[in-house]
Structure 1
Amino acid sequence: MKLENYEMHLPSYSIGSDIYGQIEKICSPFGKKVLIISGVKSYEAASSKLLKAIQENGFEVIGHEYFGTDCTYAAVEHLKALKVYGEADMVFAVGGGKCLDTCKCLCIEEKKPIFTFPTIASNCAACTSVSIMYNEDGTFLKPHFFTQPAIHAFIDTEIMAKAPEKYLWAGIGDTYAKYYEATISSRGEDLPHFTALGVSMSRMCLDPLVQYGAKAYQDNRKGICSYELEQAVLSIVITTGIASIFLTRDFTPDYNSGLAHAIFYALTAYPVIEREHLHGEVVGFGVLYALLCDGQEEEFRKIYHLNQELGLPLKLKDIGITRKEFEETIERIPEMSDVRHYPYKITQEMLQSAMERLENM
């Protein structure tokens, strides 16, 4: 295989219970005028610590804006048109995945310095070089790729420990999916260096969560900033983000996705998924289908047990989908882009068989 020239930009991050004190050291080369863009609840969770750190380190907040509700191109254009955006030296993106993705799409291609401040551990958006774009009606549109991630991620584990535990819960499902999807989609191939790195690294998206996930979840429910919680956060936010960068290049097949994500995106056609369920929650459910379709019985039992232990979905009713709705979805899943590069053709018969097995357990 002959590859084109390529460049890699890996995430930079700080993690700890009082990490905002590093803002001056990391951000000062880029200026002093800060525009904060956040979600509503995330700003409530982080603002006191963040504003104190900003003030103590000689920065000036020249504006605060809410990103909206979904990561859409309309939301990006709205923020881009604001006068305060043009005046800011940098953007501090504070929130969950949709907020961070909106801000990355806003800033990275325009070379506006952006720093991420994730407040929940549901995904790796703080460290990836992609934004997941949605239509205005809340359905999935497409991934929007960049050559690099945000400049730096500030991961405050104390804030994450106090966040609603459902986000860590869902993050666990989204993260262990990375290992299975990367290893299945790359199976039997002569991989270039960066893809092989990503596949190898994806193992760390699984093992720490099997080892620490249940304890981390219980600590999160109690608001305890523990070692186990930090290990889970690192797997969800950092390891998955770095693996994703290695696994997705515009001149190679996409090894960054697979059947579990195809199931999620196909199911977004039903409003109940976006309205009542989290991305990683449904992806973790989709992993059960992926493992059954792939014939990985031992791994299936491992993840089924982990999902039982954590209360992640095991049956269609757990995600508010009827058998009839899923059977309608089965017609779309084999054509999803997430399974375009797979070692075999996903068929409706495979999915039907997996559904029957899960629903009858």
Structure 2
Amino acid sequence: MKRLRMMRAPLKYVQGKGALLQFRKEMEYMGKRWLFVCSNSGYNSCHEDLEKSFEGEDDYRRYEVFGGMSSISEIKKMQDIVETDKIDVVVAVGGGSAVDAAKATAYYMGKRIVIIPTVAATDAPCTGLSVIYNDDGSFNKYLFYPQNPDAVLVDSSVIANAPVKFLIAGMGDALGTYFEGRASLRTESPSLESGGITRAGMAIAKACYDTLRKYGKAAITACENNVVTPALDAIIEATVYLSGVGADNVNCAAPHSFYNGVTSLGGHEAYHGNCVAFGTLIQLTLECADKAEFEDIQNFCLEVGLPITLAELGDFTDEDLHTIAKNACVKGETIHNLAGDVTPDELYAAIIATDALGKARLGK
């Protein structure tokens, strides 16, 4: 039977300067008992304005500082709180790991989920999945959900006041969306939601890429100066919404498999988006992309501060690279959405070649 095409997205998306002050007004239909799963920085940057949004209301609120990783034990801890405190709505306040843990908690407990990203470092807020890690930091699995988050609320002022390195990483994650979707469409692979890839999904992925190219540099300048501008708002929408909804409705490919290979080393501190950006270049190498396209993406990475060499991601031994390649090519990894069956040896060669091309571009 021919695969059915489908589209999914968050039920509600709210973005703008001062959005936190409207949280209760925008989300009141969901319930009266709230668990805020916060990163340390998320609590510090959002707690005051969130509380202002509840002024004059008697809703129950519990703020729980998240342990830093969307691991099995942290998710179980949050589940216990939901049950004990009779929570109606789980709210993630923080970066990608807090988002993933909160989504998993809400799913397992049958509760509504709202996402408040405090950095634009990944497209996790809008996606219908979580990346789950083992307690030692190694990759465990993708946890797919039957629907996307109930709501996502982004306060542009919070993003503008976060370190610019997170915005840059978010652009790296978003960079992969179009190229991974294009590869998946070429091989007639299913979307991340196991449906056929729609024209709308690809259009969103392309709009994400076009927005990055048009506004990326200007958005970085705004974030460096802690101000909200139309360019920054455009990039926030691209990294959070367009990338997230685009990825859900197309699919991933080599860039995200490369990242999973890196995490398999354990304890590596390279940002997700930075790995995805370099992984996008690796994918172009595997696809034998024409020179002009490859160099164009290199130039974009240089313009916004994304890596084009391995050294910019960290210190890897040759053994590390073989391990990355092996684990990025295990059964079920999205690298197999590329044409042909990519082997660990082929991926290793592409990593080495991409790094060499990056060094040549930098004159090293």
Mark yes or no: TM-score above 0.5. Answer: yes
User: CA deviation digits over 1:65-106, x for unaligned, max 9?
Assistant: 122111012111111112675422222221111101111100
Structure 1 residues 18 and 312: alpha-carbon distance in aligned structure 2, compared to 1, 3 A threshold? same
Q: Does 1:217 align with 2:220?
A: yes
In structure 1, the gaps of 5 or more residues are 248-255
* CA RMSD across the alignment: 2.4
Q: What residue is the counterpart of 2:254 in the other structure?
A: 259
Q: Distance in 1 between matches of 2:358 and 2:159?
A: 33
The alignment partner of 1:186 has SS state of helix
Q: What residue is the counterpart of 1:226 in the other structure?
A: 229
Q: Distance in 2 between matches of 1:180 and 1:346?
A: 17
User: CA deviation digits over 1:47-78, x for unaligned, max 9?
Assistant: 1111111225x253432112211101211111
Q: Does 1:279 align with 2:272?
A: yes
Q: What amino acid does structure 1 have at the position aligned with 2:300?
A: L
Structure 1 residues 79 and 330: alpha-carbon distance in aligned structure 2, compared to 1, 3 A threshold? closer
On the 8 A contact 2:215/2:232 being kept in 1, the answer is yes
Residues 72-221 of structure 1 mapped to structure 2, 5 A cutoff: 72-82=71-81, 86-187=85-186, 189=188, 194-221=197-224
On the 8 A contact 1:35/1:85 being kept in 2, the answer is no
Which region of structure 1 is more displaced relative to structure 2, 193-202 or 180-189?
Answer: 193-202
**TM-score, normalised by the number of residues in structure 2:** 0.88
Residues 21-36 of structure 1 mapped to structure 2, 5 A cutoff: 21-36=21-36
Q: Does 1:63 align with 2:62?
A: yes
**TM-score, normalised by the number of residues in structure 1:** 0.89
Return the offset for 1:232: 0.3
On the 8 A contact 2:205/2:243 being kept in 1, the answer is yes
The alignment partner of 1:335 has SS state of coil
Q: Distance in 2 between matches of 1:122 and 1:86?
A: 31
User: CA deviation digits over 1:208-229, x for unaligned, max 9?
Assistant: 1111111101111110111100
Q: Distance in 2 between matches of 1:156 and 1:177?
A: 24
Q: What amino acid does structure 2 have at the position aligned with 1:345?
A: D
Q: Does 1:342 align with 2:334?
A: no
Q: Which runs of 4+ in 1 moved over 6 A?
A: 4-7
On the 8 A contact 1:162/1:220 being kept in 2, the answer is yes
Residues 296-307 of structure 1 mapped to structure 2, 5 A cutoff: 296=289, 297-307=291-301
Q: What count of residue pairs does the alignment treat as equivalent?
A: 350
User: CA deviation digits over 1:237-259, x for unaligned, max 9?
Assistant: 00112123323xxxxxxxx2111
On the 8 A contact 2:10/2:152 being kept in 1, the answer is no
Q: What amino acid does structure 1 have at the position aligned with 2:236?
A: V
Q: What amino acid does structure 2 have at the position aligned with 1:235?
A: A
Return the offset for 1:109: 4.3
Q: Percent identity?
A: 25
